[in-house]
Amino acid sequence: MTQNNYFSLKFEKDKLIYLDQTKLPLEENYIETEDYNRIAEGIERLEIRGAPLIGVAAAYALALSVKNVKKDLTPVFDEAYNRLRVTRPTAVNLFWAIDELKKVFEANRNADNVYKTLLDHAKEIHKKDEDYCTQMGKNGLSIFKKKSVVLTHCNTGKLATGGNGTAFSVIKTAFENDLVEYVYADETRPLLQGSRLTAFELAKCGIPFSIQSDSSAAVLMKQGKINLVITGADRIALNGDAANKIGTYNLALISYHHNIPFYIAAPSTTIDRNIASGEQIEIEYRDKSELLSINESQITLSEYEAFMPAFDVTPSHLIKGIITEEGVFNFPYNFI
């Protein structure tokens, strides 16, 4: 299988085309739309997911909101902006991207062809994220001291970004440089982003891998089978505390116990420069149906209550290094 026969999203003929990730890996179904509200729903439904990709999609959605509006653009733009803001609360890239578009809109609301101006900026955001992914992959090579077996959590590849990924880009680039021997991918319950999406991308890239239950990671480490752990992040505080998919904190703790380096890869846009620590990160809670069923098939009783945080926060002292497009930063962190 080759990597080039799929894409996460693209903008073509004034429409956003994106891969519905809820159907993967069993079905590769692309959705085509020019409706910003449909894109917002796609983000909420996790058809579009991954912090950087959510930001890219939201930027395109805001541009599309004024595509067919001839006059009095402000109410329409504001409605779209407010709609997109409430789709996912934890990933900072969403808010960064739509705020960037809002600045452009406010500076050009009375200009000719505002739609094209907004669209051009959305394309710039997309291209910048693609470049960031490539650079993160290159920067991440420095963490490999030998050919390694890597464990990762959730999905951080092309399906989560505008480019080749964050942590996945580091893994892929290292594999291409003969620095990755094998990858263990946590299944990432409850929505199985690891066994569905990361496995899909590893197979596309021809990288040897296994998937395992999240609770198997400690056993792999105890058996000496893991050299490095690399994950992504959805929001990073100034002190380096990082929010990522639920289960990441567990992984960082057991990595620390087994003296295995734990790294995060994320673009600089994931650093929230308005918060000092992870205590200020708003955690999204999902509907309990996502835990009580798989692919709409009930696996336990629907009346059971469920604890459903979508993310957890890893304290910065557990993170060996944070890989961005600007370089590799080591603990203690002081992002300004």
Q: pLDDT tens for residues 163-193?
A: 999 999 999 999 999 999 999 999 999 999 9
Structure tokens at 249: 């904190």
Q: pLDDT tens for residues 13-71?
A: 999 999 999 999 999 999 999 999 999 999 999 999 999 999 999 999 999 999 999 88
Percentage with pLDDT > 70 across the chain: 99
Mean pLDDT of 271-298: 94
Judge residue 112's burial from the number of C-beta atoms within 10 Å of its C-beta, 0-12 exposed, 13-18 middle, 19 or more buried: exposed
Alpha-carbon dihedral angle through residues 279, 284, 285, 287, given to the nearest 10 degrees: 180
Q: pLDDT tens for residues 243-267?
A: 999 999 999 999 999 999 999 999 9
| pLDDT at residue 327 greater than cutoff 80 | yes
* 171 Cβ contact list (under 8 Å, min separation 6): 150, 152, 180, 183, 207, 230
Assess contact for 58 and 83: CB atoms under 8 A.
Answer: no
Range list for CATH 3.40.50.10470 in the chain: 139-330
Active site residue: 214, 234, 241, 272, which one? 234
Query: What distance in Å separates the CA atoms of residue 44 and residue 118, rounded to the nearest whole number?
Result: 23
Q: pLDDT tens for residues 185-226?
A: 999 999 999 999 999 999 999 999 999 999 999 999 999 999
Query: What distance in Å separates the CA atoms of residue 56 and residue 129, rounded to the nearest whole number?
Result: 8
Q: Which CATH class is domain 3-134?
A: mainly alpha
What was the pLDDT predicted at 1? 40
Mean per-residue pLDDT over the chain, rounded = 96
Identify the band that residue 336 occupies on the pLDDT scale cut at 50, 70 and 90: confident
Query: Is 234 an annotated catalytic residue?
Result: yes
Assess contact for 207 and 201: CB atoms under 8 A.
Answer: no
| pLDDT at residue 2 greater than cutoff 80 | no
Query: What distance in Å separates the CA atoms of residue 292 and residue 190, rounded to the nearest whole number?
Result: 9
What was the pLDDT predicted at 3? 47
| pLDDT at residue 319 greater than cutoff 50 | yes
Percentage with pLDDT > 90 across the chain: 94
What was the pLDDT predicted at 4? 54
What was the pLDDT predicted at 120? 98
Q: Range with the lowest mean pLDDT among 4-8, 185-189, 242-246, 267-271?
A: 4-8
Distances (CA, A) of 40 to 84, 226, 262, 288: 6, 38, 33, 21
Identify the band that residue 295 occupies on the pLDDT scale cut at 50, 70 and 90: confident
What was the pLDDT predicted at 102? 97
Mean pLDDT of 110-137: 96
Distances (CA, A) of 2 to 43, 45, 101: 27, 28, 34
What was the pLDDT predicted at 91? 85
Range list for CATH 1.20.120.420 in the chain: 3-134
* 187 Cβ contact list (under 8 Å, min separation 6): 194, 195, 211, 212, 213, 214
CATH 1.20.58.220 correct for 139-330: no
